[in-house]
Chain A
């Protein structure tokens, strides 16, 4: 079923909101544009993107190996990297001007996965925490799309939170009506929704724009959010936030490994590592 076609009346009712969300999303929630991080738990590989350049590290960020991508338009940039759940090997990169690319051979070859998306202005992408074939994409000005077949076909699901989003994650935190939760870094803080797309709500009162978001796979109620005022941690799924230790630099990207190691990247590419839940940090590769 083509959700774009069948949901047109619904979309028309929301057209004004969507347009506004897209415009705001491009302006107010795009602070985390420069650096992107992801972690492949199956291979213990840290992945990093800056602009249109993708690289991998098998030693926790001390050494990096560039990864080849198909030709990317000059204005294109990688906004998200995602790894399919359960060690199934699927690797995604996505971003404005790129759309969605998937590799099933560790990044040696890539194929476009854009059928059903309204264009290539993919602002953010995240894989399902547990279902290897399920992946979600946010397209600025249009909303959230879901694919249940590894990106082969996309369906429009939801307009997304007001103001657009910069980044989001899918989490297997308990308590959802469906299979998990979304946490989105937005221009108005962190917003949260069950993955049935049953409504976006403020996740606590962070009180400032969030530029990056991550959660601890060992304890999904632990959510990290980066802001221009430092790093914050919630131990209860975003209800309350407390200030965490932060690297000296402003954090643009966050990821937590299955072992609970937190990596943070600054806008200049500097990488930081915390092994104690963001209390203390060390610079990697300095």
Chain B
């Protein structure tokens, strides 16, 4: 996992510590992109294209990282669910190893950073997908810590 550039980390962490509201932090131009490139791109691809052959288990019996762009299924998840997966990680119960399929970032990223990266992913979707995801998110919004 690549590390977040020091400057970006300082800016984001300082904003979170200073009590700046997560939505404002999430709306900072480029904030989500910076988190994505530092923390997510190595597995999910620089443009959110996912790992090669992501729809089939790899040699270890683990599901590769899926795309986050319009060809993936990230847009089918509500904000609350995406936030939970980023924070707590998730293991595909049919993986042949015991490792998390998606690592947990709750100890590594501030709530504002996790929200920012999810907001960035939305820029990779079609307008129709964004509308669908917005409706899903009304039923499962971000948790209070990320609002």
Contact = CB atoms under 8 A, between A and B. Distances in A.
Interface of A: 1, 3, 6-10, 157, 174-175, 177-178, 196-199, 201, 237, 239
Contact of A196 (B73, B126, B128, B131): B73
Interface in B13-71: 55, 66
B132 A6 contact: yes
Contacts of B90: 177
A237 B66 CA distance: 22
26 contacts: A1-B131, A1-B135, A6-B132, A7-B132, A8-B128, A10-B126, A10-B128, A157-B76, A175-B91, A175-B92, A175-B94, A177-B81, A177-B85, A177-B90, A178-B77, A178-B81, A196-B73, A196-B81, A197-B73, A198-B66, A198-B76, A199-B55, A201-B94, A237-B93, A237-B94, A239-B94
B137 interface: no
A198 B63 CA distance: 12
A151 to B, nearest CB: 18
Contacts of A6: 128, 131-132
Contact of B128 (A7, A157, A174, A239): A7
Nearest to B130: A6
Contacts of A8: 128
Interface residues of B, number: 18
A199 B91 CA distance: 16
A159 to B, nearest CB: 12
A6 B133 CA distance: 12
Contacts of A201: 55, 94
Best-surrounded residue of A10, A177, A178, A237 (most CB of chain B within 10 A): A177
Contacts of B128: 6-10
6 residue pairs, one from A and one from B, having the closest CB atoms? A175-B93, A198-B73, A6-B128, A196-B76, A1-B135, A7-B128
Nearest to B91: A175
Nearest to A192: B94
Contacts of A175: 91-94
A6 B125 CA distance: 13
Nearest to B73: A198
B78 to A, nearest CB: 9
Contacts of B93: 174-175, 237
Contacts of A237: 93-94
Nearest to B140: A178
Given A1-B135, A196-B73, A237-B93, A9 B126 contact: yes
A10 B70 CA distance: 9
B68 to A, nearest CB: 12
A237 B90 CA distance: 18
Contacts of B94: 175, 201, 237, 239
Contacts of B76: 157, 196-198
Given A1-B135, A175-B93, A239-B94, A10 B129 contact: yes
B143 to A, nearest CB: 16
